Amino acid sequence: MDASPLPRNAAIAPAAPVIEARGVSLTFQTADGPVHALKDVDLSIGRGEFVSFIGPSGCGKTTFLRSIAALEAPTGGTLRVNGMAPDAARRARAYGYVFQAPGLYPWRTIAGNISLPLEIMGFSRAERAERIARVLDLVELSGFGAKFPWQLSGGMQQRASIARALAFDADILLMDEPFGALDEIVRDRLNEALLELWRKTGKTIGFVTHSIPEAVYLSTRIVVMSPRPGRITRVIESTLPAERPLDIRDTPEFIALAHEVREGLREGHAHD
Amino acid sequence: MIEAWRRAGRGNLVPILTVLLIIIGLWYLGAIRMNAQWERDQAARAGIELSLPELVSRTLSQDRPVLPAPHQVAEGLWQGVAGQAVTSRRSLVWHGWVTLSATLAGFAIGTAAGIVLAVGIVHSRAMDQSVMPWAVASQTVPILAIAPMVIVVLASIGVTGLLPKAIIAAWLSFFPVLVGMVKGLRTPDAMQLDQMRSWSAGRGRTFWHLRLPSSLPYLFASLKVAIAAALVGTIVGELPAGATAGLGARLLSGSYYGQTVQIWSALFAAAILAATLVAIVGLLERATLKRMGLAR
């Protein structure tokens, strides 16, 4: 058993982090006064890491992920993605973003949906076809390209949306509660498939979740956050091996990690 | 198709026919009552006494009844459609075509204008604030007041025929398209728009790939209202300035000469035309939305 918490490709990673946040703050001005969605967040994520963000609503986990994706603009601190400002990184196709809902267009087939970002980015027809076939295979949806979204189950739709985020070869995959709306059994299967996909592709993944087992099962690092103001309270390095069958969740090591995350979450609530 | 009819028929045919029969029955009663006075006056002048059956049969076969009976209107309609050469000035087909062509032209202009304005309004806050109030104001002005002005002003610069009527039709039909399209183009939610941003899609791409397809259900609903409104606009445009062609002119000349059967025939021709146009838009809607996976 490989005891290393990092995947193989971490060895070839350069020293510079892929995502680096220093003192990132984000304050929304609302009618009821300022809301501190993020306050002094410091975090660096290395190439090939799988980092989960967990915490109660309002802790800023989604806001932080959206800031990395340049969907929100931090009001303080510096945030670099691949050494660039987030919006420059986006233009350089640094990341694919997977939302909570699949957001597939009903008037496009599965292949057509995956093709959409490629069309927008100006890939040639031949290259689009080649990439669509490749990512469909990656999420195990080969043969479903010609189907329409409504012909697929919820889990399959979310897999198609992951394929779409992978199609343009971004190194970073940002996922905002991608399996939050799915039932437990489907979720387990997708978690397994996601780990498999991460091992195969060596992407850097940022993953927002509400679920402690999900965070522990997937991550190399778990970032526990807490609200008012949104901040990081604990960063937990996973001691689990890279190879993770589903029943690893019954091992003492897994249970100990889950306990640590729960402790971290409780800590954040201590003064509530 | 036949199966669908049969299924619909089992549940709905009886109530539909009942309502139809009640309407026709009331119409006959109304015709008898409203036309009776004239028959009684005539009889009194001639010094004869009318029995009730005689009175009833006379009220239903007058040349210029106050209210023509359903069978008279049906006959007038049939005469107007099938009893004339289609090129005849007495043919409802010919008049209907004159009205239809202006309606379609106006509908096309109105739809185009509505869509263009909606696109502007959705993309520009300034346009939202400056155009929308005028669009609303344009619809509060009675079309009966506007129509003659448009006809007269355009005639004075030498524009007559189809175009002035089409402009009045467009005046009425652009508004529902505008309102529907503004709503439709704004239906994509924050997540869908963020998704587009995450692919660095500009406004143009977002419009073409997301906003426009999402708006189509709203567009079609608006088009149904717009095409009926275009027909009304065209007919109103045919009323003033003594137009000689079109269903509106048919209504007007009927009222000049007390030809009530002619008026009612033209009215029914217009109603049938409107229903047909709306049904055609409805078919296009069903086919398109089904193809796009948007049918509900």
Residues of A in contact with B191 (CB under 8 A): 99-101, 103
Check CB contact of B199 with chain A, cutoff 8 Å. yes
Q: Is residue A130 part of a domain?
A: no
Q: Does B190 touch chain A (CB under 8 A)?
A: no
Does residue A163 fall inside a structural domain? no
Domain-located, residue B129: yes
Per-residue confidence (pLDDT) for residue A57, from 0 to 100: 84
pLDDT score for B114: 96
Please indicate, yes or no, whether residues B12 and B112 belong to a single structural domain of this protein.
no
CB B234 within 8 A of CB B253: no
Nearest to A99 among B191, B213, B294 (CB): B191
Domain boundary among B67, B100, B123: B67
Residue B210: inside a domain: yes
- Whether residue B62 is found in the same domain as residue B97: no
- Give me the pLDDT at residue A10, please: 45
> Is residue B221 located within the same domain as residue B139?
yes
B96 lies in the same domain as B232:
yes
The answer to whether residue B85 sits within a structural domain is no
Residue B87 lies in a domain: no
Q: Which residue of B has its CA nearest to A106?
A: B293
- CATH code, A270: 3.40.50.300
How close, in Å, is residue A211 to chain B by CA atoms? 22
Helix or strand holding residue B14 (H, E): helix B2-46
Which residues are within 8 A (CB) of B9 and not within 5 positions of it... i.e. 6 or more apart? none
B19 domain residue, yes or no: yes
Assess whether B124 and B245 both reside in one domain.
yes
Find the CATH number of the domain harbouring B219: 1.10.3720.10
Q: Which residue has the higher pLDDT, B3 or A40?
A: A40
Total domains present in chain B = 2
Query: pLDDT tens, A217-266?
Result: 999 999 999 888 888 888 988 888 888 888 888 899 889 899 999 988 88
Which residues, in sequence order, are CB contacts of B142 under 8 Å at separation 6+?
A: none
Residue B80 falls within a domain, yes or no?
Answer: no
The closest alpha carbon to B165, from B96, B106, B82, B91, belongs to B106
pLDDT at residue A206 in the model: 93
Q: How many domains does chain A have?
A: 1
Q: Does A4 map to a domain? A: yes
In a domain, residue A208? The reply is: yes
Contact B293/A148, CB-based, under 8 Å?
yes
**pLDDT score, position B101:** 94
**A74, A67 in Cβ contact below 8 A?**
yes
Of A103, A119, A148, the CB nearest to B195: A103
| Mean pLDDT value across residues A178-191 | 87
Question: Nearest-CA distance from B199 to chain A in Å?
Answer: 6
Q: What integer best gives the mean pLDDT of chain A?
A: 86
CA angle A101, A255, A271 (to 5 degrees): 75
Range of the domain at B148: 92-292
* Chain A touched by B219 (CB under 8 Å): no
B160 and B112 together in one domain: yes
Crossing angle between the packed helical segments B162-185 and B125-140, to the nearest 10 degrees: 130
Within a domain: B205:
yes
Mean of pLDDT values over A86-99 = 90
Residues of chain B with pLDDT under 70: 1-11, 241-243, 296
Domain membership flag for residue A248? yes
For the whole model, what pTM was predicted? 0.82
Contacts of B195 in chain A (CB under 8 A): 97, 99, 103
Residue B56 sits in the same domain as residue B101: no
Beta-carbon separation of A91 and B198 below 8 A: no
Domain hosting residue A44, numbered range: 1-94+204-272
Q: Is residue B79 part of a domain?
A: no
Residue B252 CA from chain centroid, whole number: 17
On whether both B112 and B191 belong to a single domain, the answer is yes
Asked if the structure places residue A186 within a domain, the reply is no
Q: How far apart are CA B51 and CA B90, in angstroms?
A: 37
- Using the 8-state DSSP alphabet, how is residue B206 labeled? I
